[in-house]
Amino acid sequence: MQIEQKVKENQHPRVCVVGAGPSGLAAIKNLQEQGISNITVFEKNNQIGGNWVYDERNDHSSIYETTHIISSKTLSHYVGFPMPQHYFDYPSHKLVLEYFQSYAEHFGLSKYIRFNTAVLKAKQIDSKQWHVVYEDDQGIHEECYDYLLVANGHHWDPHLPEYPGQFDGEILHSHQYKKASVFQNKRVLVVGGGNSACDIAVEVARVSPQTCISMRRGYHIFPKFIFGKAADEAVAKTLWMPDWLRQKMFSLVIRILQGRYRKYHLMTPECGPLEIHPTINSELLYFIRHGKVRPRPGITHFEGNKVHFTSGESYEFDTVIFATGYKISFPFIDKELIDFSDLTKVPLYRKMMHADFENLYFIGLCQPQGCIWPLADYQSKIVARIIMGTLKRPEQLQQKIEQEMNKPHYRFKAHARHALEVDYHKFRRELLDMLK
């Protein structure tokens, strides 16, 4: 990527950042590092951390009581700011939030943030500025900015599938799940096969007399440790291999460690382990073989408290928890401008640049097979340098976007779940190449 020697005429650009979660913090830090000080960050909660702020009241999207990260601390930190040495391999949400707080304090990021402030609308005017309408305790306000950085994440707008019939029990989305104790003495069905579904099924099974998990397809389930190493660290040791060999090797290793999926009454995945977002869980298979969690196939319809499955069987439940992912949505941007909610491929270069808007960037809008935060950090470095004119924005962006969409890192299954999917290490290299 060529470097522009000429600094832009606007030496003090006004930059608006939406969200002070992990991606928003990375954006602030890198903007500040490049000498940009006219930064306003709108955060609708009362503190930094985004969905890593545990909240039982459901006032905002948050993790649940027993959440630990599913990527190792070694590969889950911001550039040049490692997690403390005393942290365990997979830190709890409390430790992760402390890490974000220490990051914000170390770099002095909080001074830019307006807490308890929600962005209501962002509209581009004359292609040079963004008109932002926001609301705080004092009322509704309006301001204009030269750049808009969207860093509010994509794990907050629940996707709920629809089935024929009516379920007379309680229906929840994993977005609403906070702790298992409320399901004591309840028969619970968890729907989904991703990380949240498997975590919730295991936690609920500790207190529920009957816990089932419904999967309509096969999933690759990785243990958290492979030959003594955290799963993502073990995967990183194989980067020298060609992709086809890595696929075969991981399939073999998982089979050696866990056996075939049919031994657990689970469907066999129809794709390679790197062609679907991995599920990292060391307890689900154990709980299945101990009869604590019972696998069920896909749902066909509801009938009262009964749930009917594709196998022809039906069972009664008190609660159904859908761990069925989230929609990609930005309620403050007109859908006529940006609408990714139903797409299986997102038209953004490096998951952050839109061909039609030179002053709009998305930070952390990716779903890596690994941790988002380091990638959001690199994205933020790129954006900050483009804003300051020391890095040239890529040319022929629409063509590059089409190439990226048509040539993903792996043959990810065409589904909204994989619209943002990237391989952590390949995506990291691509972002680093842009900074050269």
> Does one domain contain both 59 and 195?
no
* Residue of higher predicted confidence among 3 and 54: 54
The total domain count for the chain is 2
pLDDT tens for each residue of 68-115: 999 999 999 999 999 999 999 999 999 999 999 999 999 999 999 999
> Does one domain contain both 346 and 424?
yes
Per-residue pLDDT band for 7 (boundaries 50, 70, 90) equals: very low
> Does one domain contain both 317 and 177?
yes
* The pLDDT value given to residue 10: 57
> Does one domain contain both 345 and 212?
no
pLDDT tens for each residue of 283-333: 999 999 999 999 999 999 999 999 999 999 999 999 999 999 888 889 999
Residue 321 and residue 18: Cα distance in Å, rounded?
30
pLDDT tens for each residue of 180-239: 999 999 999 999 999 999 999 999 999 999 999 999 999 999 999 999 999 999 999 999
> Does one domain contain both 117 and 34?
yes
Of 307, 322, 337, which residue is a domain's last?
322
Least confident of 180-194, 242-256, 379-393, 411-425: 411-425
pLDDT tens for each residue of 329-360: 899 999 888 988 888 889 999 999 999 999 99
Mean pLDDT of all residues in the chain? 92
* The pLDDT value given to residue 8: 47
pLDDT tens for each residue of 60-77: 677 899 999 999 999 999
> Does one domain contain both 116 and 251?
no
The answer to whether residue 122 scores a pLDDT higher than 90 is yes
* The pLDDT value given to residue 62: 79
> Does one domain contain both 93 and 110?
yes
* Stretch 388-410: mean pLDDT: 91
> Does one domain contain both 37 and 151?
yes
> Does one domain contain both 116 and 186?
no
> Does one domain contain both 257 and 342?
no
Give me the domain span that covers residue 272.
Answer: 170-322
Looking at the chain, the whole-number percentage of residues with pLDDT higher than 70 is 94
With respect to residue 162, please indicate whether it lies within any of the assigned structural domains: no
Of 304, 322, 340, which residue is a domain's last?
322
* Stretch 156-179: mean pLDDT: 93
* The pLDDT value given to residue 414: 64
Per-residue pLDDT band for 3 (boundaries 50, 70, 90) equals: very low
pTM: 0.93
> Does one domain contain both 266 and 308?
yes
pLDDT tens for each residue of 237-290: 999 999 889 989 999 999 999 999 999 999 999 888 888 888 999 999 999 999
> Does one domain contain both 22 and 151?
yes
* The pLDDT value given to residue 413: 66
